[in-house]
Structure 1
Amino acid sequence: MKKAFKVGVVTLAAVFVLSACTSNNKSTDSGQQTNVSAEQVVKPWISSKNTTRVNTSDPVEAAVITSQSLWMATSKDNRPGSIILTDPNNWQNAVASADLIHHPSNGPILFVTKDGIPSTTVNEINRLQPKGVEINNGVQVILVGDLDQKVEDQAKDLGFKIDKVTGDNPAALAKAIDAYYTNLAGENPSSVIIGSMESQEYTMPAINWIAHMPEPLLYVKKDEVPQETIEALQTRDGNANIYILGPESVITAKVEKELQQYGNTVRISGKDPYANAIAFAQFKDNNTGFGWGITTPGHNFSFVSSDSPTLAIAGAPFSHLGKHAPLLWTSKDAMPESVMNYVMSLQPKFELSPTEGPYNHAWLIGSEDSISLKGQGEIDNMLEIVSKSGEGHENMPGMHH
């Protein structure tokens, strides 16, 4: 059963919340009383030695817990500049909005619904008290996408200065976000990611990168380049570095050829969504600096179940602050073989002592109904630093205590 965690105005010191408890005692054969149902502790975070779980599969709550993890809001220095509000049910808009996480916002994505701003989100906005972004005229909340008027009215009623970025379709919104960023940054990023607006699982890995770096996400269809995307590329004067994310089954060679007239194209792809995310995590263009290029130990990842892709949007800010993390897809109970092989290739190995490092870590976004405890244990084990000799801790000289 999914454990609901209702996030109020809290500080990170409140690491866990006690749920309502009931006790139903019954006698054993020996006549003793035993608790069948005892007080339970519902935790927003569950950590192992190498993993930290955002312990909810509700996207609204996951976005709030991610926000609490990164912006403690205990002082002006660790409060966000502004907050992005968007609807996770329109994944194309929500993914593209991540381009505003780093700049200008230095702030999280939080979620709204068609009915307005959920109380969970309202409480988090009030906790964060965004400072306002000076270069953006003090804006504290950016509404992204075609949101209901109720959302705008609620945001105004909270007393925050708001701005809006809208578009008639995902390609138009992505173009508008690109222009918004460029206007505030005073420069037009030469590199762009091209993703499919029709294939969420192949496009989603872009979200962690655009939350981390200035390159925007622009959209195409499988066999068509929308006019809005053409217009965004034309602002690069034929010198764009265009990174196409996904195989030809998702974005055709015809589209790639059409894109070549706007700059240099490079395709990053895998045969399935798992391999595609791995390819993106491994990729590095040394000429432009684009890409994670993670091929050695000592890194962090965000693991999201491929059955719960919206949670990747909630976890996108984990690539902006702290241990920056690319996205890897996994399954509920075990890593697919390709993911397992990739993670094993990054397992840290020490010569004499584990204190040598480096260390790996992973964020897991979702409760046990998304990624099971067994799945978490497997990921934790594969991230653990081990001896180059192959000896376990218990058999190493000097490790007997």
Structure 2
Amino acid sequence: MASGAAFADALSGSAAAGAHGGPVLLVGTDSIPTVVGAELARLKPKRIVVLGGAASVSTGVEQALGGYSAIVDRLGGADRFDVSAAISKDGFAPGAPVAYVASGAVFPDALSASAIAAKDHAPVLLVTKDGVPKGVADELTRLNPGRIVILGGTNTISTEVEIALRANRPTTRLAAADRFGVSAAASAAGFPAGAKTVFIASGLVFPDALSGSPAAAANAAPVLLITPNEIPTSVATELDRLDPSQIVVLGGTATLSDAVYQQLRAHLG
């Protein structure tokens, strides 16, 4: 469970949920939307994990969630970076094959990472442009991953951070000219043999892709980002390479138009 009003806590939670076969559901700071309550009643979860502190999801909501599960835990921290470390520590054992690192200041790169991280049973950890927060550095030490993959270019995570990460373990970067290209690069790296299903979300807003990433992971599918009215060339090229037989469009016509929906149908294999 994460706030639907802010993106940071759910960025790491989406990968963890997907890796463990669980969904991410979004709530208000002080309320559980009726449709989310109905889905919780349908799911009958054994455990509910609240992501972030009380400023994001109130203690009142946390208590109300106890009506849907006997176990309700909160993974919080002093900031979004500590929250990402707490989520990783809760969900992943030491010796992880890979850890994904993305900016905690912007959402698109981490959105692209979530589906492939879940597929690899790997965490997504958040850093600043110019540094690795101590909580995240400590979690990387605990994880001792076989390698690190940075999502995004040097405008979001600097060369200095890449050098610091590479000093301790093999590190590569998936970058492109924009957020759409990064999503295509992440898809190509995570699904080199193609994918039967592809999930599509807006790259301009975060909620749809956050909730969609665990579902994509459950379907062994990537999440690609597009604009409301256009499929960027990099994404169109990746769709043709993937040659999917099913495309799942996340969100309504306010985020992805009917016109772009029809354009996507032309990329079905």
TM (norm. structure 1) is: 0.62
State how far apart, in whole Å, the 2-side matches of 1:262 and 1:235 are. Answer: 12
1:369 aligns to what SS in structure 2?
A: coil
State the aligned residue count: 266
Q: Which moved more, 1:156-165 or 1:328-337?
A: 156-165
1:244 and 2:150 aligned: yes
Deviation at 1:190, TM superposition (A): 3.5
Q: What residue number does 2:112 align with?
A: 205
The answer to which structure, 1 or 2, has the higher relative contact order (CA under 8 A, 6+ apart) is: 2
Overall identity of the aligned pairs, in %: 21
RMSD across aligned positions (CA)? 1.9
Letter in 1 for 2:167: Q
Cross-structure match for 1:48: none
Q: 1:342: Cα distance to partner?
A: 2.5
Residue 256 of structure 2 corresponds to 371
SS across alignment from 2:228: coil
The corresponding residue for 1:332 is 228
Deviation for aligned residue 1:199? 2.1
Instruction: Give the deviation of 1:180 after TM superposition.
Output: 0.8
Tell me, what secondary structure is at the counterpart of 1:120? helix
CA distance in 2, matches of 1:274, 1:102: 22
Please state how far the C-alpha of 1:86 moved relative to its aligned partner.
1.1
Aligned CA distance change for structure 1 residues 236 and 142 (closer, same or farther; 3 Å): closer
Q: Aligned equivalents of 1:177 and 1:118: distance in 2?
A: 24
1:265-276 matches, within 5 Å, as: 265-276=171-182
Conserved 8 A contact 2:146-2:170: yes
Q: SS in structure 2 opposite 1:271? A: coil
**Counterparts of 2:241 and 2:114 in 1: how far apart (Å)?**
24
Cα–Cα, structure 1 residues 209 and 328, in superposed 2: closer, same or farther, change >3 Å? same
User: Does 2:32 align with 1:117?
Assistant: yes
Against the structure 1 CA distance between its residues 90 and 234, is the aligned structure 2 distance closer, same or farther, given a 3 Å change threshold?
same
Amino acid at match of 1:241: R
Do 2:18 and 2:115's aligned partners in 1 also have CA atoms closer than 8 Å? no
Distance 1:103 1:242 in 2: 17
Alignment-derived partner of residue 88 in structure 2: 178
Q: 1:159 to 1:363 in 2, by over 3 A?
A: closer
Check 1:302–1:127 CA distance in 2 against 1; reply closer, same or farther (3 A cut): same
Per-residue CA deviation, residues 291-332 of structure 1 (Å, 9 max, x unaligned), is: 3225x4x532111122332210121122232x3221111122
Letter in 2 for 1:262: N
Q: 1:278 aligns with which of 184, 188, 200?
A: 184
Structure with the bigger percentage of helix: 2
Q: Which has the larger radius of gyration?
A: 1
For structure 2, which runs of at least 5 residues remain unmatched after alignment? Answer: none
Are residues 101 and 264 of structure 1, via their aligned partners in 2, closer, same or farther at CA, if it must alter by over 3 Å? Answer: same
Counterpart-to-counterpart distance in 1, 2:143 and 2:221: 28
Structure 1 segment 248-259 matched on structure 2, within 5 A: 248-259=154-165
Partner of 2:191: 292
Q: Could you say what secondary structure the match of 1:235 adopts?
A: helix
Change in CA separation of 1:254 and 1:103 when aligned onto 2, cut-off 3 Å:
closer
User: Do the aligned partners of residues 235 and 374 (structure 1) sit closer, same or farther apart at CA in structure 2, a change above 3 Å counting?
Assistant: same
Matches within 5 A, 1:329-368: 329-347=225-243, 360-368=245-253
Shift of 1:159: 5.4
AA aligned to 1:369 is A
1:30-109 equivalences in 2 (<5 Å):
85-104=1-20, 106-109=21-24
1:141-184 deviation per Cα after TM superposition (whole angstroms, max 9, x unaligned)? 111211211111111244532122111111111111111113xx
Q: Give yes or no for contact 2:197–2:246 (8 Å, CA) kept in 1.
A: yes
1:311 to 197, 201, 208: 208
CA 1:236–1:112 in structure 2 vs 1: closer, same or farther (change >3 Å)? closer
